[in-house]
Amino acid sequence: MNFGEKIKDFAQKNCGGIKQLADALGIADTSLHRYINGDVSPSKDFFMKLRVLGCDLNWLLDDKETASATISIICAELENTKKENKEFKLRLDKIKKLLN
C-alpha cells in the first residue's frame, strides 16, 4: 500500500471517509486529495494532526519498496567502496615497494 492508499484506508476505518478525515484535520477535502494523489507534500502540522487522530505514522510512512531500493543502492555503494579500497591498498603497496 502506498501513502495515498494508507490515508484512504485510515480515513475509512477511523473517520468514515475522506471528507470526514479532512474535516477532522481542519483542511478542505480537495487539499487532502492532493496529498493522497501525491500532487502536494503534507506539512508537519498535517502529520501531527493525523497522529492525534490515532494514525500510526510509522505505518503511514513505511514504504518497503523505497526501503528495498535504498538497501540495494547502499549495498552497491559498499561493494564499490570495497573495490576502491582494494585498489588503493594495491597502489599503496606499490608505493611502499618503491620507497624501500
**Cell numbers placing 75:** 549495498
- The range of the structural domain enclosing residue 95 comes to 63-100
pLDDT digits (tens, 9 = 90+) for 54-64: 999 888 888 76
Helix axes 3-14, 29-37, angle to 10 degrees: 140
Q: Are residues 52 and 99 in the same domain?
A: no
| Tally of structural domains, the chain | 2
State pTM to two decimals.
0.62
**Cell numbers placing 96:** 611502499
The confidence score (pLDDT) of residue 69 equals: 56
Q: Are residues 71 and 31 in the same domain?
A: no
pLDDT digits (tens, 9 = 90+) for 1-55: 888 999 999 999 999 999 999 999 999 999 999 999 999 888 888 999 999 999 9
User: 13 versus 84: which is more confidently predicted?
Assistant: 13
Q: Are residues 99 and 80 in the same domain?
A: yes
The answer on pLDDT for 71 being more than 70 is no
Please write down the HEC assignment for all residues of the chain.
CCHHHHHHHHHHHHCCCHHHHHHHHCCCHHHHHHHHHCCCCCCHHHHHHHHHCCCCHHHHHCCHHHHHHHHHHHHHHHHHHHHHHHHHHHHHHHHHHHHC
The confidence score (pLDDT) of residue 67 equals: 57
The confidence score (pLDDT) of residue 50 equals: 93
CATH number of the domain encompassing residue 23: 1.10.260
